[in-house]
Structure 1
Amino acid sequence: MIRLIANTSNRIVTRYPVFFKKLDRSLATQSRDPKHIFTNPSNNEILDSKHFFTSPNANVGSEEDLIAATIQESIKSNRRKKFKHISSAFVVALLTTILGYSVGYKVMYLHEQAFIPAYPVPKKRSFNTDELKSINVREIEELANYKVLERLSMHPMIKEQYGVPLHHAPGVPLRSRNFSVWQENPNPCLAGILVKPYNAPKDQSVWHTIPFMFKWRLVHRSIDVVDSVNQLLSRFGTETTDLLDVVNPNRENGDFKYERPQHYSQSHQASHLWFLGEMELDENSIIVFKGRYHVDIKLQQVDLLRRENNELVRYVLYQADEK
């Protein structure tokens, strides 16, 4: 508190408290930089503005190199963005064209089915659930058993060592086991989406529907070159068989006709059904057979696997001639 005291000579004398006197003496003895009133200059390290985000000891290179690298990276980034934009626009335009023609025109306007290819698949693959519904696997197995037994009954080694007719046990005829089927397409195959009109007749396949518009499901299709050429030539009123008659008139047209197995529906394209099975002759002998079904059973190979002196021995009983 500042006190004002009047003396005898009518003068006002100002007396400061002790604290302000000490502060004046401290300021007088320590002359400090006004920039560092609240900080200590020894703790403030002045950094180079060129290395504000990097270490001065780092090997950054010249300033010209940095500028050139920055410009190059900017150009590459712009090119990548431009390429992505062009690619995206092309993909969108392509998909719009395919969907518009396949779904909008063929399915919804012409009321026809359309196949939209997606990606290639191996020629050899298993049948899916929908395809197995159109194939009588049990009947194919019965036909394969008959063909195998017929082939074994004519083999001298089997007749001599096992006798005919062949039986697994007295009164128990030979039956195949572990019978499996798969398909091998002679042509390249594609997986895609099959689209049909919404009011198309129902079949055994499982379809996904979009109400009042269309229904679709995933299928596999083989690329049949002959069929594609036939469709192209049909627009001009001719077929490939007409051209083959000109090339070789002595050959019958039936040689060029592809026969589809009777158990296949119209949605299945050219495809060979292969099968593999085995029969047990006795405890130490097993028959392994392989073949294909294409209108009729065609055995490819029949082997006998037998254990002799604690070793597994293989006898090739029949092998089809490959042409």
Structure 2
Amino acid sequence: MKESSFISKTIAKVKDSKKTTKIDRTIEKDSRKKIVFFSWSIVILLFLCSIGSIFISVSGIVDKNKINGNEIKPNKVDLLNYPAIENYLNPFVDKYMNVTADIEQNKKRQEELSLYLIQSDTDNSKLFELGQVQGERILNKKNVYSIEQMKNTIQVQYVIDYKNVTFSEKEIVKKVKVANKEELKKEKVTVRKEEPKTAILSIQITEKGGVYAVNGAPYFTNIYSLKGEIKQKGTNENKDEYTGAKKEKIEAFMTEFFTKYTTSNLEDLTYIMKNPESVNNVFLLESVDSILIFKDNDKFRVDAVVSFVDVSGVTTKQGFLIGLSEKNGHFYVEYLKHK
């Protein structure tokens, strides 16, 4: 009985042990599932956060590029091919400006000019049509005056020298011989009158893929000046001119320097210049016209205007900005700039 009881207890313990192992395995499996699920949840959450931050950044950039509801486009540098534009338009200007009284030639002119026009839904075939021409228009010369990138087009302006030619009839009296007698006879002759003109011819063109087309008929305006009153920002502003004890010594050195600048070779100038240059065999020194000296800490800056003369006697004035340092009582040119 005792043995059977012992065996029964042993079998019961084994069964309990199997149940415990099965439960542990089930718990371990569930734990792994939870870990995997939690890990993927974190990954997905991080991914969504990244997408959200990118969207917010892009939205912020877009908002910054909008002012008063108008979107600001990034600056675009338009590089104009000036030689190509001029080569394209030169024949067009020649054809446009030259007009004769010959009807057939003017029809040919109209056809050739129309080939330059941009393609559109509008009928521009009569844009270059001429009325009853009584005279001539002759182009003498042309020069490109301005090329400007506009909003949607390129504006090209030429200065054109041309002449308007008109013809009129005039009655004159001529002496003619009739039966060995001189008689006065009235006769009508054609008188040619030329009137020179100078104006600006403006042409609007469009570029696409390196080729061009004319947007419409050119127009004439009076010549405007390109000359402006622009004040150069000087390097000597807000600085007082040096008038100290070394002023006369610096002025004497500048005369000596420019004499050597016109007579010495580069090797000789290395003793007084950091970056030697020379106009030897090109000019001779005529005069040092003006010298302004300014103190830069322990160095000096000299603003000079100098006159040179060549073998033919032609005087050339040049401006210089020169930096000087002093070593052992001798001046040394640290830099020389042309103004």
What TM bracket, shorter-length normalisation?
Answer: under 0.3
Which structure carries more relative contact order (alpha carbon 8 Å, separation 6+)?
1
TM-score normalised according to structure 1 size:
0.25
Compare the two structures and name the one with the higher strand fraction. Answer: 2
TM-score normalised according to structure 2 size:
0.23
